[in-house]
Amino acid sequence: MRGCEKTSAVGVLKRALTRQIDREDERQRPLDLGLIRRLFASTDPWRRQRFWLLLAVLARAVQLPALTGLVAAVIRGPIAAGDAGGIALGALAFAALAVSTQIVLHFRQKLALELGEAVVCDLRCRLFRHIQSMPMRWFHTNRIGRVVSRMTSDLEDVRAGVQDVFFVSLVQLVQMLIAAAAMLWYDSVLFLTVLMLAPVIWLINRHFHRLLSTALRDMRESFSRVTATLVESVVGTRVTQSFGREAENSRMFAELAADHCEWNTRVLRTQGTFLPLLELNSQVCMAILLLAGGYRVLTPGSATDIGDVVGFFFMASLFFAPISILGSQYNQALTALAGAERLYRLLDLQPEWGDVPDAVVLQPIRGHVQFCEVSFGYEPGTPVLQRISFEARPGQMVALVGQTGSGKSSIINLIARFYRATEGVVLVDGTDICRLQDQSLHRQLGMVQQQNFLFSGTVADNIRFGCPEADDERIRDVLRRLDCEDLLESLPEGLQTSVGEGGSSLSAGQKQLLCFARAMLADPAILILDEATNSIDSGTEARLQRSLESLICGRTSFVVAHRLSTIRRADQVLVLDGGRIVERGTHSELLAAGGVYSGLHAGFAGVGGTVPRAA
């Protein structure tokens, strides 16, 4: 399969995805004390829990060597001396210690789980709040997949780090130290042998975990390719079927699935090769110690007896066991740190702009909007709007017309404060829009777009989105005022009908009406509307037009106009071309002038009164 990667769909996809894996996507980060401190500080709100957890960790770190030490002591003492009473007492003490060890383990795990969950839940909510406050530009320049991955896999890595790595490593380290002290006490020469063997075991372990980690990362990447393709294919089924691409897509998916299967096998192969090797490695070390221990006992005049060697062996196994555990914990720690670093970088990212310290609260907004010599570009040096000036008085309707890409949506983006003007100023009721408090502007500004987003839930839930406290009666009242109560009430379960994912169970006209109702319930002073160009039957279109007129009445409205009937009733029509206003006036004034608009008008009138998308 690798051979044909250059030409296969998987190869193309993999190369595209690999290019995207930049420094930000590194799976591991070196140990960074600042980051560890910050992660540790994130447990501060749960200080009491953390204190008890640390206590449980230390208790367990002492209990484990104590259990082993007790066995060694019973063998060396009562068993060697044939003291039956001593043996019974030793067994009893062992059982009591074992029970207490398990009780401590229960609490250690419970506390660690609770602490990890609390930290992750807090971090997840903070991230969610933060992401929601980011300006539109951030969403245009950041891949959604990456944001989702922060909220899922990175948080899971951090959870593992908080719940396991630190506390498990602490238990293992203290256990190793106690075992080392005991070994030193039994026999210092044998202990030196252990000290020489330990780094070898550690290095072999590290090598294994590094290989495993790389294989795991590749496996996860191949899995994310499988899931991403699956999601895209399901969402795009309609397009796939209409172009008859099912077989081609299935072939591509099969390649991705086979690729993932291969990476999975590679992980298992690495584990299958190394785990026996690691075990053999420890057993070889034990054989060396056995040889050295036996030699020490047999050497005439040696202070080491059989009891010391037995005790030493117990402690040696207690010393070697954590090396492998620490190896995997170390690996997990690096992964958790990489996740934490990305999460904190996202949390620390300050929005390019937000509310200024003395932000103005306009309550209520009258709806007087002015553009004064406004220029704007999404990218520096690429202006899409140039020196735009106009005024919309409260209650007026402004229609924006022009060829595709002429800048209509960009004007709307500036009114909604999704972006900031590069030059010039946008004023709302005489105040620079950048100085307005975000909430006070957005609560009084409504938007109805062509592709409106509907959340999962019922029709009523979606209408209530703009005014959560509204009851069903208020919703019905809004529908009556829009003269469309019957259309939404006729749905299978009326207002309680589920809209399906993205509104998939509603027709285009029903969706548009729902969005009108959502905007009307919020009762905004300024309304932004991108008229639908979808072909809707003439009956529904007439209803939509009537509803639209009720919605607009008494509000300042900006309409990206695609219907001649809308343009005709606009107080002002702005004709855009290449980011500039090339003509302005009412429909009849512009027609009489015989300029760009009258040229466009011939096109509108020819398509049943609907402006084609290109105009």
Ligand X SMILES: Nc1ncnc2c1ncn2[C@@H]1O[C@H](COP(=O)(O)OP(=O)(O)OP(=O)(O)O)[C@@H](O)[C@H]1O
The stretch near ligand X (CB under 6 A) out of 104-112, 407-415, 431-439, 601-609 is: 407-415
Residue 373 burial (CB count, 10 A): 12
Q: How far is the CB of 392 from ligand X (least distance, A)?
A: 18
HSE-up of 201 (CA within 13 Å, CB side)?
26
DSSP secondary structure code for residue 553 in this structure: T
Q: How far is the CB of 420 from ligand X (least distance, A)?
A: 14
378 binds ligand X, rule: CB under 6 A: yes
410 binds ligand X, rule: CB under 6 A: yes
Q: How far is the CB of 418 from ligand X (least distance, A)?
A: 10
Rounded to whole angstroms, how far apart are CA atoms 157 and 409? Answer: 40
Amino acid occupying residue 475: I
610 binds ligand X, rule: CB under 6 A: no
Q: How far is the CB of 408 from ligand X (least distance, A)?
A: 4
Binding mask 96-135 for ligand X (x = CB under 6 A): ----------------------------------------
384 binds ligand X, rule: CB under 6 A: yes
Q: How far is the CB of 449 from ligand X (least distance, A)?
A: 10
Instruction: Between 64 and 611, name the residue whose CB sits nearer to ligand X.
Output: 611
Among 7, 132, 242, 404, binds ligand X (CB under 6 A): 404
Q: What 3-state class would DSSP assign to 530? A: strand
Q: Quick one: tokens of 368?
A: 């007087």
The stretch near ligand X (CB under 6 A) out of 259-267, 404-412, 514-522, 538-546 is: 404-412
307 binds ligand X, rule: CB under 6 A: no
Instruction: Between 311 and 579, name the residue whose CB sits nearer to ligand X.
Output: 579
Instruction: Between 395 and 405, name the residue whose CB sits nearer to ligand X.
Output: 405
Rounded to whole angstroms, how far apart are CA atoms 580 and 187? Answer: 89
Rounded to whole angstroms, how far apart are CA atoms 582 and 560? Answer: 16
The stretch near ligand X (CB under 6 A) out of 181-189, 265-273, 376-384, 503-511 is: 376-384
Q: How far is the CB of 599 from ligand X (least distance, A)?
A: 17
Q: How far is the CB of 46 from ligand X (least distance, A)?
A: 42
Q: How far is the CB of 450 from ligand X (least distance, A)?
A: 9
Q: How far is the CB of 389 from ligand X (least distance, A)?
A: 17
609 binds ligand X, rule: CB under 6 A: no
380 binds ligand X, rule: CB under 6 A: no
Instruction: Between 379 and 469, name the residue whose CB sits nearer to ligand X.
Output: 379
- Whose tokens are 């839940």? That residue is 121
Rounded to whole angstroms, how far apart are CA atoms 68 and 317? Answer: 10
Burial of 563 (0-12, 13-18, 19+ CB in 10 A): buried
Q: What 3-state class would DSSP assign to 457? A: coil
Q: How far is the CB of 407 from ligand X (least distance, A)?
A: 4
Q: At what angle do helices 188-235 and 9-20 cross, to 10 degrees?
A: 120
Tell me the CA distances in angstroms from 88 to 143, 441, 504, 605, one per residue in order.
67, 80, 74, 104
248 φ/ψ angles, rounded to the nearest 5 degrees: -60, -45
Among 402, 466, 503, 524, binds ligand X (CB under 6 A): 402
Instruction: Between 414 and 495, name the residue whose CB sits nearer to ligand X.
Output: 414
440 binds ligand X, rule: CB under 6 A: no
Among 38, 106, 140, 546, binds ligand X (CB under 6 A): 140
Tell me the CA distances in angstroms from 548 to 476, 482, 506, 557, 563, one per residue in order.
17, 8, 19, 11, 12
Q: What 3-state class would DSSP assign to 425? A: strand
The stretch near ligand X (CB under 6 A) out of 114-122, 266-274, 403-411, 462-470 is: 403-411
Among 407, 466, 509, 524, binds ligand X (CB under 6 A): 407
Among 150, 159, 408, 587, binds ligand X (CB under 6 A): 408
Among residues 513, 535, 539, 524, the alpha carbon closest in space to that of 459 is found at: 513
Rounded to whole angstroms, how far apart are CA atoms 483 and 504? Answer: 23
Q: Quick one: tokens of 451?
A: 């592709």
# chain residues binding ligand X, by CB under 6 A: 12
- Whose tokens are 């008859």? That residue is 244
406 binds ligand X, rule: CB under 6 A: yes
409 binds ligand X, rule: CB under 6 A: yes
511 binds ligand X, rule: CB under 6 A: no
Q: How far is the CB of 140 from ligand X (least distance, A)?
A: 4
The stretch near ligand X (CB under 6 A) out of 188-196, 339-347, 400-408, 482-490 is: 400-408
Q: How far is the CB of 555 from ligand X (least distance, A)?
A: 21
Q: What 3-state class would DSSP assign to 526? A: strand
Contact criterion met (CB below 8 Å) for 408 and 448: no
Close Cβ partners of 150 (under 8 Å, ≥ 6 residues apart): 127, 342, 343, 346
Q: Quick one: tokens of 584?
A: 């302005």
Task: Report the b/e string of 464-485 with b at 16+ CB within 10 A.
Answer: bbbbeebeeeebbebbeebebb
**Which residues of the shown chain bind ligand X in the complex (CB under 6 A)?**
140, 378-379, 384, 402, 404-410
